[in-house]
Amino acid sequence: MRHVAALAGVGVKTVSRVINGEPNVSAATIAKVEAAARTLDYQPDLHAGNLRRADGRTRTLGLLVGSVDNPFSGAVHRAVEDAALARGVSVFASSLDDDPDREQEAVSAFLRRRVDGLILTTISESQAYLAPELRRGTPVVFVDREPAGLTSDAVVSDNSDGAALATRHLLEHGHRRIAYLGDRHDIQTARERHRGYLDELGRAGVSTRGQQVVEGLHDEATSRAATLALFDVPNPPTAIFSSQNLVTIGVIRALRELGRQHDTALVGFDDVPLGDLLEPGVTVVAQNPQAIGRIAAERVFARLDGDASVAARTIVPTRLLERGSGEIAPRAEG
Amino acid sequence: MRHVAALAGVGVKTVSRVINGEPNVSAATIAKVEAAARTLDYQPDLHAGNLRRADGRTRTLGLLVGSVDNPFSGAVHRAVEDAALARGVSVFASSLDDDPDREQEAVSAFLRRRVDGLILTTISESQAYLAPELRRGTPVVFVDREPAGLTSDAVVSDNSDGAALATRHLLEHGHRRIAYLGDRHDIQTARERHRGYLDELGRAGVSTRGQQVVEGLHDEATSRAATLALFDVPNPPTAIFSSQNLVTIGVIRALRELGRQHDTALVGFDDVPLGDLLEPGVTVVAQNPQAIGRIAAERVFARLDGDASVAARTIVPTRLLERGSGEIAPRAEG
DNA sequence: TGTCGCCTTGACAACGATGTCAGGGATAGG
DNA sequence: CCTATCCCTGACATCGTTGTCAAGGCGACA
């Protein structure tokens, strides 16, 4: 800026005025400054300005997701970005791989960079460590998973309800041996989905005792192996409820290998790419990551604009997409 | 930091020393400062430090991709993030939707935030506008697409070669009417793939005149419509080469609708999620987005570490994945 | 015991910008 | 012609941090 001022033959403050479009600068001066700025390819330093600026906003947002190459996370990210773009806000994204240590580090990295707000998919047991930051006025919105040890806005799917919906769908198609394949138990949504599954069995008066329940699955490989193991017992399940997209994919692979994709029902939680093009099509309880991301970003901006209402939990509905795999009838018993 | 200093009863510079782990601070002082910092939940302001720090690094990277919710972009993003994490660098990501105006805006937003380096999937006709920034010493690495009007590092797939590989594969399976479905002609990789396709037909002595070539496809919907139209002529193609992942998905949908997925060969450029689980499996020329992202990030960091060698183009090999759709024989002619 | 040198510490300027404020020129009104 | 007002402009302090430098305290060594 000093250089631009020198080249234009004006003071730095005048350059600042022109750059920021402040009033009361003569047309001739504006022209001189703009010419100088163009000549020097000047880009103002937003961070330096921020140091002094009244509102102290960096026009920056921090987003924490499972992994930026997971389709669910990607959709959330894109929705957040679109909302941010309209306000000239840039987005930092970080992948957690559901590792609590990475969460702490990433949040800390964001705070040191003075992001205006945080949108988080948490994995740590408690987010109480964010309380001071929240008090300081940084909006924090949780997506996909609800916070623990802290009260703040959250935008989530109805996990237990969605899981119950999936389970009911299988029950209605006559299944009584419905295996549950789930993610790690330290993930809140996984627990919720597990609960929804158990509750629905209970409501239907179906014993939860005889059901095969496998938790702790986190990727395609472990899920595939677990599915293969399901069929190593005398009375294998006639239906499977898989509680996460990567788990669902592992199940599909295993069923193909066993040649059982047409005689074992499957409903997944969270949509699977091209799920409608597989044979059979994959019946899923689909979430709405676009809406989740958009609403979360809107919450953050509303808070920044002064909305001081109490923290709210927004539930984004899930939807059952019947595509074939969930409508397979139970095998006739031997 | 003033507050921490006051609470600890020391000077600000001493706090700075403790925070940055500089030597020559007594153990007692370190303890006092750390206690005060913990009490106040102090997070140093990285940007303020940067203003004064000698190296002027923000430990920040800007990444421009087609869209953060495209699987190819997501994989690149994740690889860049992993490389950055190891160096304490945070990543800004922006989606372009292949819109040149958004490119300019996003780059400008990154530069105003003083990113240490840029990793770009460009869409603008010329990137000459980056020359001053490059001279200023900001490393710029192009991924997926090569720069025009500017010389800088690039990490790309061999597009024409991959397209030729796909075309040759179809020729070897006996096809002579091979339709080309491609992306917008203003995208450099699309032009390259188109060229590879034509060149290979030429090498095989197959006339390019009678082939159906459709360009300007950019999403599933337009691709699906274009595919349906291919079959509205007397002698429809017996094989299709689709030059991009979304285009490939549109083709698959259309072929299903027509019931021709088992009698029309298909090879796609760029992998499709779950492509191996479809029936038939989707034969593709797969790129390696993980390697592209990783190598690009390594180039940026090497430049930041002082590597001043001439700009290099790194070509990441493509790989033909035979899964069924590309190995379908031509229909017997009437 | 005096001097030297090391360790520890803080005062101060500076990074690149903006908020505040005051000064100077032009214009209008008395 | 003088003065009040408005417009335009730049000097200066400041944001939160780090680089520089000098000073004070203490132990070691002659």
d(CA A285, CA A292): 15
d(CA A139, CA A153): 9
Please state, in angstroms and as integers, the Cα–Cα distance from residue A324 to each residue in A276, A282, B242, following that order: 9, 6, 28
Q: Nearest by CB to A47, which of B93, B114, B279?
A: B114
Q: Say yes or no for a CB contact (<8 Å) between A71 and B68.
A: no
Q: Say yes or no for a CB contact (<8 Å) between B74 and A69.
A: yes
Report the candidate in A84, A45, A295, A304 with the shortest Cα–Cα distance to residue B106.
A84
Q: Say yes or no for a CB contact (<8 Å) between B47 and A47.
A: yes
Q: Is the peptide bond before A280 cis (omega within 30 degrees of 0)?
A: yes
| Residue B4 CA distance to nucleotide C25 C1' (Å) | 48
| Residue B292 CA distance to nucleotide C15 C1' (Å) | 36
What is the amino acid identity at position B83? A
Mutate to test the interface with B, among A38, A47, A253 (most CBs of B within 10 A): A47
Q: Say yes or no for a CB contact (<8 Å) between B272 and A272.
A: no
What are the φ and ψ backbone dihedral angles of B233, each rounded to 5 degrees? -120, 165
pLDDT at position B278, please? 96
| Residue A5 CA distance to nucleotide D7 C1' (Å) | 20
Q: Say yes or no for a CB contact (<8 Å) between A253 and B279.
A: no
CATH code of the region B60-157+288-316: 3.40.50.2300
What is the amino acid identity at position A118? L
- Cα of B324 to nearest chain A Cα, Å: 14
Contacts of B43 (CB under 8 A, 6+ apart): A108, A111, A112
What are the φ and ψ backbone dihedral angles of B22, each rounded to 5 degrees? -75, 155
Q: For residue A63, what is the nearest residue in chain B, using CA coordinates?
A: B92
Q: Nearest by CB to A90, which of B67, B109, B277?
A: B109
Asked if A314 CB < 7 A from strand C, the reply is no
Does A134 contact chain B (CB < 8 Å)?
no
Protein residue closest to D16, using CA and C1' = B48
C-beta separation of A142 from A122 below 8 A = yes
CATH topology of domain A159-287: Rossmann fold (3.40.50)
Report the candidate in A213, A219, A203, A135 with the shortest Cα–Cα distance to residue A178.
A213
CB atoms under 10 Å from CB of B334, counted, come to 4
C-beta separation of B210 from B255 below 8 A = no
C-beta separation of A214 from A180 below 8 A = yes
C-beta separation of A86 from B33 below 8 A = no
Does A41 contact chain B (CB < 8 Å)?
yes
Q: What is the pLDDT along chain A (334 residues), one digit of tens a residue?
A: 899 999 999 999 999 999 999 989 999 999 999 999 999 999 999 999 999 998 989 999 999 999 999 999 999 999 999 999 999 999 999 999 999 999 999 999 999 999 999 999 999 999 999 999 999 999 999 999 999 999 999 999 999 999 999 999 999 999 999 999 999 999 999 999 999 999 999 999 999 998 999 999 999 999 999 999 999 999 999 999 999 999 999 999 999 999 999 999 999 999 999 999 999 999 999 999 999 999 999 999 999 999 999 999 999 999 999 999 999 999 986 4
Does A137 contact chain B (CB < 8 Å)?
no
Strands of the sheet with B319-321, listed across from one edge: B213-214, B178-181, B239-242, B265-269, B283-286, B319-321
pLDDT at position A54, please? 84
d(CA B326, CA B262): 10
Tokens of B243: 């030059």
Does A279 contact chain B (CB < 8 Å)?
yes
- Cα of A4 to nearest chain B Cα, Å: 15
Beta strand segments in A90-174, E: 90-95, 117-120, 140-143, 153-157
Tokens of A133: 């930051």
- Interhelix angle B71-85/A71-85, rounded to 10 degrees, is 90
Does A110 contact chain B (CB < 8 Å)?
yes
Does B41 contact chain A (CB < 8 Å)?
yes
Q: Nearest by CB to B69, which of A45, A51, A75?
A: A75
CB atoms under 10 Å from CB of B4, counted, come to 25
d(CA A230, CA A225): 9
d(CA B36, CA B42): 8
Kindly give the parts of chain B with pLDDT less than 70. Answer: 333-334
Mutate to test the interface with A, among B50, B59, B78 (most CBs of A within 10 A): B78
Using the CA of A51, which nucleotide's C1' is the nearest one?
D15
Does A69 contact chain B (CB < 8 Å)?
yes
Tokens of A147: 């916070």
DSSP A326: G
Query: pTM of the entire structure?
Result: 0.95
Using the CA of A114, which nucleotide's C1' is the nearest one?
D16
Does A71 contact chain B (CB < 8 Å)?
yes
d(CA A201, CA B290): 42
- Do the domains spanning A1-44 and A60-157+288-316 agree at the CATH topology level? no
Pairs of residues, one from chain A and one from chain B, whose beta carbons lie less than 8 Å apart: 127
Q: Is the peptide bond before B280 cis (omega within 30 degrees of 0)?
A: yes
Asked if A290 CB < 7 A from strand C, the reply is no
- Virtual torsion, Cα A63, A157, A67, B104, nearest 10 deg: -50
d(CA B117, CA B307): 14
Q: Which nucleotides along chain C are within 7 A of a protein C-beta?
A: 7-20
C-beta separation of A140 from A120 below 8 A = yes
d(CA B159, CA B287): 9
pLDDT at position A304, please? 96
Give the HSE-up count for residue B269: Cα atoms under 13 Å, Cβ half-sphere.
30
CB atoms under 10 Å from CB of A305, counted, come to 9
d(CA A158, CA A319): 10
Q: Say yes or no for a CB contact (<8 Å) between B274 and A274.
A: yes
In which residue are the tokens 């060969």 written? Answer: B265
| Residue A2 CA distance to nucleotide C27 C1' (Å) | 32
Reduce the DSSP state of residue B122 to 3 states and report it: coil
- Cα of B48 to nearest chain A Cα, Å: 7
Q: Which CATH class is domain A1-44?
A: mainly alpha
pLDDT at position A187, please? 93
Within B45-187, where are the H helices? 46-52, 71-85, 100-112, 131-135, 159-172
Domains of chain B by residue range: 1-44, 60-157+288-316, 159-287
